[in-house]
């Protein structure tokens, strides 16, 4: 039997790799899991009632593109949040944004662009970006997002040869794992580069509603203000972080009419639509901002706690947005093992989110800490991290 080699260069899967690393006893009195970005704040109170009211919908095949109420609710959110007038035809609901981030590359990546096409991804990165690149036969190019570049990828540092072959550039803002935010100037520079070299920007904005003071600008918002090609940017959003509904598996993508039409066409054959009752929940969630403001306030309080506990650490950078801490260590794997063995706190080595490229792994000397647990549990965990690694 001969199997394909297209996925032979994938980085090891994060969670099996972590379980293997931490397969050692702990002395901790309790386990405090700060590895996965799974929100543990309360989701909106209306969720159960809406599902109950729409139970009959489980007896029907769901709308593949999204129900009219859901698409209208998303359009309303984009208007309130970014002052964008995006019609429902330019929005596609997703069964979680990971599905969309993958299938959009399948639908929109060119087969050839001055040779083998390139897909750019930040390094560290969300691993679906790399899988998407390999699935479409593109060359994944990992662009370091380090302290020197403000923890955002410096696409301008790439050669013209790479940029001319680029079909898609993924970027996450606010960034996972570093919490950095692409400001207006950054977006303008990136979109200008995309216009010059004729590639599409895939803007993963899943953390856009968790921030300190100023709402992060959106890629479509900046592209519109610039008068860029309407097909130049596709954005991806999710209810997982915004509304604490990771299990709902509800997100959306929006972009130019041709881009969304092509993604919809592929999804008609290969997509997995969200069940009707869950689309009803999603419509209510996108239409409501009050629960989002309450959730954001909880995270803003957590930023203050983290700064108080860890602010003295050399190299500590308080995140601008999102709910991760990106903490410097001599070696992320060794730090994660020590924490687990000595305290029962589980964190993620930064190298498990990044790839060796040009002799550098930008995550090697970091750990990622998710601040998603209830506040007191998170506070205990951060205190144990400080006392174990930094005192």
pLDDT interval class at 357 (50, 70, 90):
confident
Would you say residue 11 has pLDDT above 70?
no
Average pLDDT over residues 249-258: 97
Checking if the pLDDT of 34 tops 90, the result is yes
Lowest model confidence (mean pLDDT) among 99-103, 109-113, 281-285, 355-359? 355-359
- Mean predicted confidence (pLDDT) in 331-336: 97
The string of pLDDT tens digits covering residues 271-286 is 889 999 999 999 999 9
Higher-confidence residue: 40 or 2?
A: 40
Among all chains, which residue has been given the structure tokens 């915004």? 242
Q: What is the CATH number of domain 14-42+291-390?
A: 3.90.1150.10
CATH 3.90.1150.10 segments of the chain: 14-42+291-390
Who's near 297: CB < 8 A, 6+ residues apart?
Answer: none
% of the chain exceeding 90 in pLDDT: 91
- Round the average pLDDT of the chain to a whole number and report it: 95
Give CA–CA dist 169/188, Å, rounded. 14
List helix spans (H) across the chain: 14-21, 47-53, 68-82, 97-108, 128-135, 160-165, 184-197, 219-226, 239-242, 257-270, 276-287, 290-310, 332-343, 375-385
Cα 21 to chain center, whole Å? 24
Regarding pTM above 0.75, the answer is yes
What does the pLDDT average to over 205-213?
97
Q: What is the dihedral of CA 44, 50, 51, 57, to 10 degrees?
A: -140
pLDDT of residue 359: 85
* Mean pLDDT, residues 217-232 taken together: 97
Q: pLDDT category, 3, cuts 50, 70, 90?
A: confident
Which of helix, strand or coil describes residue 346? strand
Residues of the chain with CATH 3.40.640.10: 47-288
- Comparing C-alpha atoms, which of 194, 258, 188 is closest to residue 223? 188
What integer pLDDT is reported at residue 391 of this predicted model? 84
Q: Which two tokens stand for residue 29?
A: 């009195």
* Mean pLDDT of the region 163-189: 98
pLDDT grade for 233, boundaries at 50, 70 and 90 = very high
Pick among 1.10.569.10, 3.40.50.1820, 3.40.640.10, 3.40.50.970: CATH of 47-288: 3.40.640.10
232 token code pair: 């130049």
Token pair 């309080």 is found at 301
């Amino acid at each position: 039997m001969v199997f394909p080699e297209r996925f032979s260069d994938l980085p090891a899967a994060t969670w099996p790799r972590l379980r293997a690393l931490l397969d050692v006893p702990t002395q901790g009195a309790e386990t405090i899991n700060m590895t996965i970005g799974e929100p543990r704040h309360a989701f909106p109170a209306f969720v159960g009632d809406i599902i109950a009211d729409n139970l009959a919908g489980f007896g029907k095949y769901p709308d593949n593109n999204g129900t009219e109420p859901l698409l209208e609710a998303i359009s309303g959110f984009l208007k309130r949040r970014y002052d964008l007038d995006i019609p429902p035809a330019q929005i596609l609901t997703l069964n979680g944004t990971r599905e969309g981030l993958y299938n959009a590359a399948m639908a929109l990546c060119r087969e050839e662009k001055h040779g083998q096409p390139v897909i750019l991804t930040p390094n560290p990165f969300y691993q679906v970006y790399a899988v998407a690149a390999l699935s479409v036969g593109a060359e994944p190019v990992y662009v370091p997002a380090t302290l020197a570049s403000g923890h955002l990828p410096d696409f301008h540092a790439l050669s013209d040869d790479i940029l001319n072959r680029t079909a898609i550039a993924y970027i996450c803002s606010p960034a996972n794992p570093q919490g950095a935010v692409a400001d207006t100037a950054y977006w303008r520079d990136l979109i200008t580069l995309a216009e010059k070299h004729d590639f599409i920007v895939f803007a993963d904005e899943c953390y856009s509603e968790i921030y300190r003071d100023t709402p992060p600008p959106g890629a479509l918002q900046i592209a519109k203000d610039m008068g860029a090609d309407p097909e130049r940017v596709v954005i991806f959003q999710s209810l997982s972080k915004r509304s604490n509904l990771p299990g709902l598996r509800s997100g959306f993508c929006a972009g130019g009419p041709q881009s969304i039409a092509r993604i919809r066409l592929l999804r008609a054959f290969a997509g997995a639509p969200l069940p009707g009752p869950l689309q009803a929940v999603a419509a209510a969630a996108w239409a409501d901002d009050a629960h989002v403001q309450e959730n954001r306030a909880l995270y803003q309080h957590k930023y203050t706690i983290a700064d108080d506990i860890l602010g003295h650490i050399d190299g500590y950078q308080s995140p601008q947005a999102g709910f991760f801490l990106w903490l410097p260590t001599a070696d992320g794997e060794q730090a994660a093992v020590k924490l687990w063995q000595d305290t029962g706190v589980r964190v993620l080595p930064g190298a498990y989110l990044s790839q060796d490229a040009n002799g550098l792994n930008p995550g090697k000397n970091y750990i990622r800490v998710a601040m998603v647990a209830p506040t007191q549990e998170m506070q205990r965990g951060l205190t144990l991290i400080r006392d174990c690694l930094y005192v």
